[in-house]
Amino acid sequence: MKINKIQLNCHRDISFGNELGADPAFIFFRSPVVYRQNGAEYTTSRSSAVILSGGYKHDFSPVKGDTLRYDLIGFKTAAADRQYISSMNLPLDIPVELEDDYVISNTLRSMKSQSMRRGKRFGEFMELSMRIIFIVLSEMTASHVQLPEEKIPKYAELKLLRESVYEEPMNSWSVDDMCEDMQISRTYFHRLYQRAFGVTFRQDVIESRLIHAADLLKNTDLSVTAISEICGYDSESYFMRQFKTHKGCTPSEYRRRIKAQEE
């Protein structure tokens, strides 16, 4: 998990949300907030927190006559982070009222302090701090938040599908076939999948293949061409572009780095 934005003690007298971008974010509202989603309006009565899965439009407004006060953390996630968040059964994209905001508030201040120093273990500190926030939020919401399988149609089938994607990354996944099996439309399938896991189906397929490719590069002497085929790519050049986009280096460079570290 990579933290790319830390903003504390923000103040707003008008609504915001659409400008947050495609990356996930965590917002801690220190004051009541009005949240609008799909035509419905919700108002919190005290401090609250929300994990935004990214890529959606949001509308947060101050309660009439008040100023909206909040802290914001922007971050990027890898597959392991998304699986961790999913395993915590955390509600996404909806503010959750907090009975006690002491730990979250102080953790955010510590993160801001560390961001000013940026020691050599900065990334590790930030990731562990976010996990503390997720744990606290999970414990606070466990007693009254519905589990994903209770609020998301087809959740059990989607969860099995996601597990299969990571177990068999080389498969050629047909969305049409899956939609036919579930008896739902393509649009509804993609909407449910993102709602359930916070990522698109395509993102999970790509991530599973690149994880498998990285493992093969590390533990075998197979050529890049062979690995691209094993991981379900018809084009080696497309595989190489995708690998570099997501991993920051080419497959060959990745293999060299791994071997250099082992030596």
Domain of residue 8, CATH code: 2.60.120.280
97 shares its domain with 23? yes
Determine the Cα–Cα distance for residues 237 and 251; give it in Å rounded to an integer. 11
11 shares its domain with 108? yes
Q: What is the mean pLDDT of residues 19-48?
A: 83
Looking at residue 185, which CATH number applies to its domain?
Answer: 1.10.10.60
Average pLDDT across the chain, whole number: 84
Range of the domain at 204: 148-263
Domain count for the chain: 2
Q: What tokens appear for 108 in the block?
A: 């955010």
Closest Cα partner for 99 from 151, 136, 130, 124? Answer: 136
**Structure confidence at residue 147 (pLDDT):** 47
Question: pLDDT by residue (tens digit) across 182-198?
Answer: 999 999 999 888 887 77
245 shares its domain with 157? yes
Q: What is the DSSP string of the chain?
A: -EEEEEEEEEEESS-B-GGG-SS-EEEEESS-EEEEETTEEEE-SS-EEEEE-SSS--EEEEPTTS-EEEEEEEEE--HHHHHHHHHTT--BSS-EE-S--HHHHHHHHHHHHHHHH--TTHHHHHHHHHHHHHHHHHHHHTTTSPPHHHHSTTHHHHHHHHHHHHH-TTS---HHHHHHHHT--HHHHHHHHHHHHSS-HHHHHHHHHHHHHHHHHHH----HHHHHHHTT-S-HHHHHHHHHHHHSS-HHHHHHHHHHHH-
Q: What is the mean pLDDT of residues 136-158?
A: 70
24 shares its domain with 133? yes
Q: Which residue has the higher pLDDT, 216 or 1?
A: 216
Mean pLDDT lowest among 22-36, 87-101, 208-222, 241-255: 87-101
191 shares its domain with 226? yes
Residue after which a domain boundary falls, among 93, 120, 141: 141
Q: Is the pTM of this model over 0.75?
A: no
Residue type, 72: L
Determine the Cα–Cα distance for residues 262 and 27; give it in Å rounded to an integer. 40
Residue after which a domain boundary falls, among 123, 141, 159: 141
Is 221 a residue whose pLDDT tops 60? yes
Is 145 a residue whose pLDDT tops 50? no
233 shares its domain with 209? yes
71 shares its domain with 177? no
Q: Which residue has the higher pLDDT, 70 or 82?
A: 70
Is 151 a residue whose pLDDT tops 90? no
Q: What is the mean pLDDT of residues 57-67?
A: 84
Is 138 a residue whose pLDDT tops 80? yes
**Structure confidence at residue 97 (pLDDT):** 87
99 shares its domain with 198? no
18 shares its domain with 126? yes
Residue after which a domain boundary falls, among 141, 157, 186: 141
193 shares its domain with 89? no
46 shares its domain with 124? yes
**Structure confidence at residue 49 (pLDDT):** 92
Q: What tokens appear for 214 in the block?
A: 């990285």
Q: Which residue has the higher pLDDT, 222 or 249?
A: 222
9 shares its domain with 134? yes
Is 42 a residue whose pLDDT tops 70? yes
